[in-house]
Amino acid sequence: MPATDDEVFTVRRHLDAPPDRVFAAFIDPSRLEQWFVVDGFQTPAERIRSTPQPGGGVEAVMVSDADGSEIPFGFRYRELDPPHRVVLEFDDPREVVTVTIEPARAATSELTYTLATLEPPSDPAAAQRGAEDMLDRIAAGIDQGLI
């Protein structure tokens, strides 16, 4: 995507894990499966291929809880700066997600998630709710020891 991406929204979270553990949530299939889902679907780790390097990416399949139907999806890693920054690039819709992870007190982290697009989503509020839901899943996974 060109440098003219327009920021749509930014979400921040305080997470009870050090930056390296939070960063792993964006590259490790066993951790991605905990949060990279939508309601009514699962993304099993065995259906996720991750190549965590700039230009690499993730290829995965979401599986419906209701009928087992499958939705393939993926993204590219535009940038990786472990454990402080990961930039994800999606094709459909064309968007870029920038995640920064900063160390905070007592082995915790401050995460900032920013969505940028060439064209605003048709429902920016729904897109932000979706991002917040995923970040809530990351926090829950950390609390449960899964991330």
Question: 63-114: per-residue pLDDT in tens?
Answer: 999 999 999 999 999 999 999 999 999 988 889 999 999 999 999 999 999 9
The three-class DSSP label of residue 140 is: helix
Domain that holds residue 94: 6-38+76-143
Residue 6 has pLDDT above 70, yes or no: yes
Q: What does the pLDDT read at residue 120?
A: 80
Kindly state whether residue 58 falls inside one of the protein's structural domains.
Answer: no
Kindly state whether residue 115 falls inside one of the protein's structural domains.
Answer: yes
Closest by Cα among 11, 25, 4, 5 to 112: 11
Residue 12 has pLDDT above 90, yes or no: yes
Kindly state whether residue 56 falls inside one of the protein's structural domains.
Answer: no
Residue 106 is part of a domain; what is its CATH number?
3.30.530.20
- Count structural domains, the chain: 1
Kindly state whether residue 24 falls inside one of the protein's structural domains.
Answer: yes
Kindly state whether residue 114 falls inside one of the protein's structural domains.
Answer: yes
Kindly state whether residue 109 falls inside one of the protein's structural domains.
Answer: yes
CA-CA distance, 8 to 76, in Å (whole number)? 19
Kindly state whether residue 105 falls inside one of the protein's structural domains.
Answer: yes
pTM value is: 0.89
Kindly state whether residue 43 falls inside one of the protein's structural domains.
Answer: no
